Structures are given as C-alpha cells and as structure tokens.
Amino acid sequence: MKRYVIIGNSTAAIHAVEGIRSLDKEGTILLVSDETHFTYGRPLISYYLYGKTDEEHMKYRPSDWYEVNGVQTKLGVRAEKIDAKEKTVTLSTGETVGYDKLLVATGSRPFVPPMEGLDRVEQSYSFMTMDDALRIERDFVKTDNVLVIGAGLIGLKCVEGILSRVNSVTAVDMADRILPSILDEEGSRIVQTYLEGLGVKFCLSDSAVKFESNSATMKSGKTLSFDKLVLAVGVRANIELVKEAGGACERGICCNEKQETSLADVYAAGDCAISHDITAGVDRVLALLPNAAFQGRTAGVNMAGGDVSFDQAIPMNAMGLFGLHMMTAGVYEGEVYKEHKDGNYKKLFCQDGVLKGFILIGDVSRAGIYTSLIRNRTPLCEVDFDLLKTRPQLAAFSKTYRRENFTKEV
Amino acid sequence: MKRIYVEEKWCLGCHLCEYECAFANSGMTDMVKALKGKTIHPKIRVEDGKNVHFAVNCRHCKDAICVNSCIAGALSRSESGVVEIDRNKCVGCFTCVLVCPYGAVMPDGDGHVAQKCELCTKNLCGEPNCVAHCPNRAIVYEERD
C-alpha cells in the first residue's frame, strides 16, 4: 500500500488527491497544511469581503470530502523539512512522516520589498489567505482611508472587496498603469477610468520610499496618509522545502510535464511550481487557479502510477471588478485585430498562423472559443478567422470539427 | 450517459429550442406567461452561419475543463455524469466562460452567476425540453460513444 504525503490544502493539493484516487483507492494519503481552514477557493477572499459569498459557500469541496477520499489531515501544521534520501518529511509538531510519493503544493506568499519604516506601520495587511480576509473584515471601518500598495490583480481585487467598507481607497503602483501584467495600455486606461468613476484613487508611476505609522513618503515627494495599509506588491513561490532538500528551483520549483521535480518521488504543482508557458515559449510560474488544478491532477495521477502529461499551460485570467468583466490569455505579440466600440474592447494577437493572445473588456461572451484556439495552437487556416474575429463562434470551424464535437462524447 | 447531440443537417434555425429552454427553466407552467414580453436567457443557443444552423449547449465533457477551472468549486460532475453548477457557490468570476471551448457556459440573466445546460435535471421537465420540442429532430438525447 502506497503512502502519499501532500503538503498544501488548496487547489493543486485537492486535485492531486482526486488524481490519486482515480487510480488508487487503497493507499494512505496524509495532507499537511499550515492553514487551519477546510479547503477553500483562495481567490474567493475578495468575493467574501465584497459580500458575494460566505465561509460556508467558500468551501472548495463538500464537507465530507476528506473522509470520502480517505484523506488524513494535519491542519495548522507546517512541513519544515524534506529528506529526499530517507523519504521523510519533518513537521512543526516534531513528528517525522515517511512517504512513497510526495507532492509539494505549498503555493506562494506575499512578497514585501524592503521599504524603510514598514515596521512602524501597525495597521498593515496582506491579501492572500482567508485569515487575511477575516482580519480585514474585523479591522476595517467606515472611516478608514486605505492605501493599497500594488495595482495588479491582487491589489485591485482587494480594492473591490473593501471599497464599500471604508472611506477611501488609494492604489499605488510603480508601473504607469493598472493591471500591467494582464492588460495593454489602452485596456488599462479603460479599467482605470471605470474604477475612478466609482471613487477609487490611483497614484501611478510612483512608489513608497519611507513609512511612518500612518503615512507614506513617495518617490515623487508626495506624502500619502492612511489608516490602513494593504501590501499587494506581488508574490513569491514557496520553494524552500524543495530547494533545501537539494531539488532544482528557479523562481519556482522546476518540474517536468509529469510534475516530477528533480528529486525522486517528489512532485510539485500549483503556484510554487514552474510551468512551461506554450504561448511565450518560456518556463515560468503561472500562478493561476486553473493551472494549479491541471498540474495537481497530473501530479496525482502520476503519483498513483499513471502516465499523464500537462503540456498546455497558458497564462489566462477572468477578472471582474465591480461588474466590469475582462478576460485575457496568452501573449500580446504579433499582428493585432482591434475593436473598440459600445464600451467593449477587444484585441486579438496572431503570430505564426495561430492565435497567440487576446484581451477582452466588457463583452466576454464565449471567450473560451478563443482560449481553446490558443491552448490547442489551432492553425488559423483551419478556421474562418474573419468570422471569428468579430465574434467567437463555432460556425467558423469546419464541419468535421463540429461533427467530432457535437455528435460524439467529448 | 445520455447526452444531447446535435445534427446540423436537420437544424432549421428556428430557435424554438432557445424558447423551450427558457420556458423549462422559468419555473412556470404556462409558456406564454413565462416568456411573453421578456428577454430570454437560454442555456442553448442556435448559431446561424452562412449556410448552416446548429444549436450549441453544454457537451458534459468527460474531463470538463470548466469543472477543473472553477475557482469556487461551484461546478462539479454528478455521479451520472451531468456537469452541474451550484448557483449559491458561484461568485460570477466567469473563469468557466474563459475556458469552455464551446462557448456553452454563460452569465445568467442577472449577470451575477454563470449558467449552463444541466439537461433539465433541475427543473420540472426532468428530460431536456429542447429535445422534446425540436420540430425536426435536429437535437436528440441518447446514449452514444
């Protein structure tokens, strides 16, 4: 009987368990996590503050999921050391547990760049975990002026969550525009204008150089005062366990298409692991929930003796802010098709005869048809791209494609 | 499992399936009262191409990318194989819309949560209403490989 140990309790870990159980109903599964919560949808923390869900509905799986899947949990326990030779993991409780197959799904943590005086700020928050959301819910009050450092995905989802709970929110970013990792300049402007219309303030092309307990001195010389500070600058992958055990790591844990690390019988998946981004053609961390799910599933199946690969990793984001939806995928390189009318913004990027990326703001309907063209690297000569440009539709695909997909099981 | 299959050569492009879908999911028993004067938000949509018409709805994929991608665990596959959505768990992020290769998951009428075909398992019909009322048998509900 195999002994599986899983470090982590979020998306990659859960999908790995399901992958294991798809082949192995007998092996023992021990899941260790330093978080005490039942597995929850991590990106839901902003929706929690926004009032769109509650703790019960945030559960990522039904309440009996651990039992049904024969998972022994150690929650609130940290894995401190992997001994890849002895095949053991040392826990914060002092225990040492042995494994036949180990998954490292340790995710990432907020990255806080060194900033002078940060330790003088008493009311400082990050926005990554349920506990962070609960602290914000508990502490933030109507009269608060909040300064959010970082106008990327995490920072702006936090802004959405807290705006109606406080007096004012100002988001700061070193970049000259918001959401620089997923939008182009024009797209950033559209979303920024929308958010400013709702009362969000921005301070761009600027950064905090020094903090006092309730104010930040900016590089520009400006002083921004605040009651509460949220740090959403970025994240760092939790690679230390594997690195210290001698496993190959870059900015994330290196792994192959089977999610194997360089250590025998040690797998990695999720935000701590590196993916091969097929659109950019580079290895990098793609900290996206679906990617964690695909990698976790792949790891689990392989840990249980299966043989599957995940080789379709692409950056993609579905992002909504106060009812304005945007979807993006791939890389923004190559020939551009652009539409900007009736409040909807669309850009498609084609290169080497395939769709490489897109940005949609406003009308995002059927975006998955575009995403699948990118993921499958479908040659555009096989579809009626002129038709597809205007609207994602299956009429632009061949009769054969439709027969394969509509008249058979898929 | 039994699934819905679409034969485009028989589709007239009448869009009746869209109305039958909206009616089936209205919770009402009178079609006129359910639909008259209202904008419908069906879970099945007919595409009208240059010389072709066909209905598109959820394929209930065996390894459904929407289920794997859902950030809330709101999409799941039932024991019988139906890809279902729990409206109470859905937060309307629409990651499912971003990943469905068929464009078969969409925001519901209010735009707050996602909706998709659940084969009329959750409404009064019990069996797909679009199939029952397709005038030319272009949509069928059966077991296939």
Closest partner residue to B54 among A327, A368, A402, by Cβ? A402
Q: How many CB atoms sit inside 10 A of residue A332's CB? A: 18
Question: Chains A, B: CB contacts under 8 A, how many?
Answer: 131
Instruction: For residue range A222-231, list pLDDT tens digits in order.
Output: 999 999 999 9
Quick check: pTM over 0.90? yes
Name every chain B residue with its beta carbon within 8 A of the beta carbon of A318: 93-95, 97-98
d(CA A308, CA A359): 31
Range(s) of chain A covered by CATH 3.50.50.60: 3-47+55-107+238-303, 112-234
Task: Please tell me the predicted confidence (pLDDT) of residue A118.
Answer: 96
Task: Please tell me the predicted confidence (pLDDT) of residue A114.
Answer: 87
Task: Report CA dihedral (A368, A374, A376, A380) to the nearest 10 degrees.
Answer: 110
Residues linked to residue A218 through DSSP beta bridges, in sequence order: A208
Residues linked to residue A278 through DSSP beta bridges, in sequence order: none
Q: Note the Cα A185 to chain centre separation in Å.
A: 22
Task: Please tell me the predicted confidence (pLDDT) of residue A113.
Answer: 87
Task: Please tell me the predicted confidence (pLDDT) of residue B50.
Answer: 87
For A313, the 3-state DSSP assignment is: coil
Closest partner residue to B100 among A61, A368, A387, by Cβ? A368
The bridge status of strand A324-330 relative to strand A354-361 is antiparallel
Q: Give the domain A3-47+55-107+238-303 fold.
A: FAD/NAD(P)-binding domain (3.50.50)
**Pair of tokens at residue A306:** 């299966």
For B68, the 3-state DSSP assignment is: helix
Task: Please tell me the predicted confidence (pLDDT) of residue A282.
Answer: 97
Interface pTM (ipTM) of the complex?
A: 0.97
Instruction: For residue range B33-75, list pLDDT tens digits in order.
Output: 999 999 999 999 999 998 899 999 999 999 999 999 999 999 9
Q: Closest approach of chain B CAs to the CA of A293, in angstroms?
A: 6
Average of per-residue pLDDT across B76-102 = 97
- CATH architecture of the region A112-234: 3-Layer(bba) Sandwich (3.50)
Q: What is the three-state SS of A340-405?
A: EECCEEEEEEEECCEEEEEEEECCCCCHHHHHHHHHCCCCHHHCCHHHHHHCCCHHHCCHHHHHHH
Instruction: For residue range A244-275, list pLDDT tens digits in order.
Output: 999 999 999 999 999 999 999 999 999 999 99
Mean residue pLDDT of chain A comes to 97
d(CA A368, CA A363): 13
Tokens 């990318």 appear where?
A: B65
Q: In what helix (H) or strand (E) does residue A228 lie, and over which residues does it extend?
A: strand A228-231
The angle subtended at Cα A107 by Cα A104 and Cα A112, nearest 5°, is 135
Nearest CA in chain B to A56: B89
The H-assigned helical ranges of A234-278 are 240-244
Instruction: For residue range A60-103, list pLDDT tens digits in order.
Output: 999 999 999 999 999 999 999 999 999 999 999 999 999 999 99
| Record: contact B97-A368, CB cut-off 8 A | yes
d(CA B51, CA B46): 13
What domains can you pick out in chain B, each with its CATH number?
Answer: 1-57+122-145 (3.30.70), 62-116 (3.30.70.20)
**Pair of tokens at residue B122:** 């959750």
Q: Closest approach of chain A CAs to the CA of B83, in angstroms?
A: 13
Q: Note the CATH number of domain A323-405.
A: 3.30.390.30
Asked whether residue B21 carries a pLDDT value surpassing 90, the answer given is yes
Q: In what helix (H) or strand (E) does residue A14 lie, and over which residues does it extend?
A: helix A11-21
Task: Report CA dihedral (B37, B43, B48, B49) to the nearest 10 degrees.
Answer: 150
| Record: contact A289-B71, CB cut-off 8 A | yes
Range(s) of chain A covered by CATH 3.30.390.30: 323-405
Name every chain B residue with its beta carbon within 8 A of the beta carbon of A407: 5-7, 144
**Pair of tokens at residue B24:** 């089936």
Return the half-sphere exposure (C-beta side, CA atoms, 13 A cut-off) of residue A292. Answer: 26
- Answer yes or no: are the C-beta atoms of A397 and A383 closer than 8 Å: yes
Asked whether residue B126 carries a pLDDT value surpassing 90, the answer given is no
| Record: contact B71-A58, CB cut-off 8 A | no
Task: Please tell me the predicted confidence (pLDDT) of residue B145.
Answer: 78
The angle subtended at Cα A85 by Cα A84 and Cα A87, nearest 5°, is 60
Name the percent of chain B lying above pLDDT 90: 95
- Answer yes or no: are the C-beta atoms of A89 and A182 closer than 8 Å: no
